[in-house]
Amino acid sequence: MPRPISARIHLDAIRHNLDFVKRTAAASRVWAVIKANAYGHGIERIFTALAAADGIALLDLDEAVRVRELGWTGPLLLLEGIFDARDVETAARYRLTVTVHCDEQLDLLEAAKPPQPIDIQLKMNSGMNRLGFRPGDYVRAWRRASGIASIGEIGLMTHFANADDGSIDWQIDNFDAATKDLPGTRSLSNSASVLWHPRAHRDWVRPGTILYGASPTGSARHIEGIPLRAAMTLESQLIGVQTLQAGETIGYGRTFSADRTMRIGVVACGYADGYPRHAPAGTPVMVDGVRTRIVGRVSMDMLTVDLTPCPHAGIGAPVELWGERVRVDEVAEPSGTIGYELMCALARRVPVVASSRLDAAQIA
């Protein structure tokens, strides 16, 4: 028997979330963002759930080639564009749309003679101060791009710094002022902006994390009531049970001591599986269908849970570390991170299974 841990990927949840995005930004086309191996869910595994997307966006040239080879014929966007001259030819061969955020990338395109022109998304730095042309330089960059023979259509794009926690009007205003005389499609919105800033929906939206059912803010309470379904369930089982007397401690560092007689469950899941070591006592977990909490320090291969609310749970009882009933954000937030990171950091040693049908956990 392998260790009982596994991650289940729910294709129906991704389809449902994509459909929700399409209804929420009904006038926009959708780039489904699947960078970082589809936020840890596996590009090949989830690919069929993306059929209703208008385009697919990611980072790696290799990932883009894989997506074409899976049979995707629609628009395919490289969010950071190309990195050297050889990439131009690959982009042309696989009909990739490339982000262009600096003059050096325009130099590469200008020097190349691809067999057909390459569509670009010209990126503006409207305030994020990571990638892109500054608003005052944008029209010049656009004019330069439109004079380059190897460039086809030019879309206009930018990315928000705080769509998850504040007003983004200042960035939208920067973008609109700098692009007011330019033709081309507009693409501004990440997940947070899809949910909370309809003014920024425009021609194309670019949701990532909400396709997987995680919160763009990192906090589960911000997506309460929004019909997003978790696309990943990390599940395991109890492999041990201990009864502690008052004053006894659990695990490394003896960080938790029982204040009464307590049953403690030992779960086959640790930080080497991708569960955050920083998760404090009190982090929620489902054991045998009952919500309880982890106690003691997370170790490499195991963690420990309070069995007080589930007195009948014994060895073999099912445990959901995160999924439909414990949102990944509820584990991430007390651990000082965001659901994005936990999903992306699922460890290679965890077997992953795709399930295409709704299961009981999701319907509940």
For residues 235 and 8, the answer to whether their CB atoms sit within 8 Å is yes
10 binds ligand PLP (CB under 6 A): no
Q: In the set 55, 81, 127, 216, which binds ligand PLP (CB under 6 A)?
A: 216
Q: In the set 207, 213, 270, 274, which binds ligand PLP (CB under 6 A)?
A: 207
C-alpha span between 84 and 78 (Å, rounded): 13
Which of the following is catalytic: 35, 39, 113, 212? 35
Decide the pairing of beta strands 318-322 and 284-287: antiparallel
Tell the smallest beta-carbon distance from residue 28 to ligand PLP (Å). 13
Decide the pairing of beta strands 290-295 and 352-355: unpaired
155 binds ligand PLP (CB under 6 A): no
Under rule CB under 6 A, which residues in 63-122 are in contact with ligand PLP? Answer: 79
Tell the smallest beta-carbon distance from residue 215 to ligand PLP (Å). 10
Tell the smallest beta-carbon distance from residue 192 to ligand PLP (Å). 6
DSSP state letters, 39-103: HTT-HHHHGGGGTT-SEEEES-HHHHHHHHHTT--S-EEETT---SHHHHHHHHHTT-EEEE-SH
C-alpha span between 160 and 262 (Å, rounded): 48
123 is catalytic: no
Amino acid identity for residue 182 in this structure = L
Number of residues located near ligand PLP, criterion CB under 6 A: 11
Tell the smallest beta-carbon distance from residue 128 to ligand PLP (Å). 9
Q: Which is nearer to ligand PLP, 215 or 233 (CB)?
A: 215
Residue with tokens 């131009």: 88
C-alpha span between 319 and 363 (Å, rounded): 17
| Stretch binding ligand PLP (CB under 6 A), from 109-117, 202-210, 296-304, 352-360 | 202-210
Task: Spell out, one character per residue from 162 to 201, where the chain touches ligand PLP: x when CB under 6 A holds, - when not.
Answer: ----------------------------xx----------
Q: What six digits make up the tokens of 268?
A: 């086959």
Dmax (CA) of the chain: 77
For residues 329 and 218, the answer to whether their CB atoms sit within 8 Å is yes
For residues 269 and 303, the answer to whether their CB atoms sit within 8 Å is yes
Planar angle of CA 181, 185, 189, nearest 5 degrees: 110
215 binds ligand PLP (CB under 6 A): no
Which of the following is catalytic: 123, 252, 275, 340? 252
Q: Which residue is nearest to ligand PLP (CB)?
A: 208
159 binds ligand PLP (CB under 6 A): yes
252 is catalytic: yes
Planar angle of CA 273, 325, 264, nearest 5 degrees: 60
Q: In the set 186, 206, 325, 327, which binds ligand PLP (CB under 6 A)?
A: 206
Tell the smallest beta-carbon distance from residue 248 to ligand PLP (Å). 43
270 binds ligand PLP (CB under 6 A): no
Q: In the set 127, 155, 208, 276, which binds ligand PLP (CB under 6 A)?
A: 208
> Known catalytic residues?
35, 252
- Contacts with ligand PLP by CB under 6 A lie at 33, 35, 79, 159, 190-191, 206-209, 216
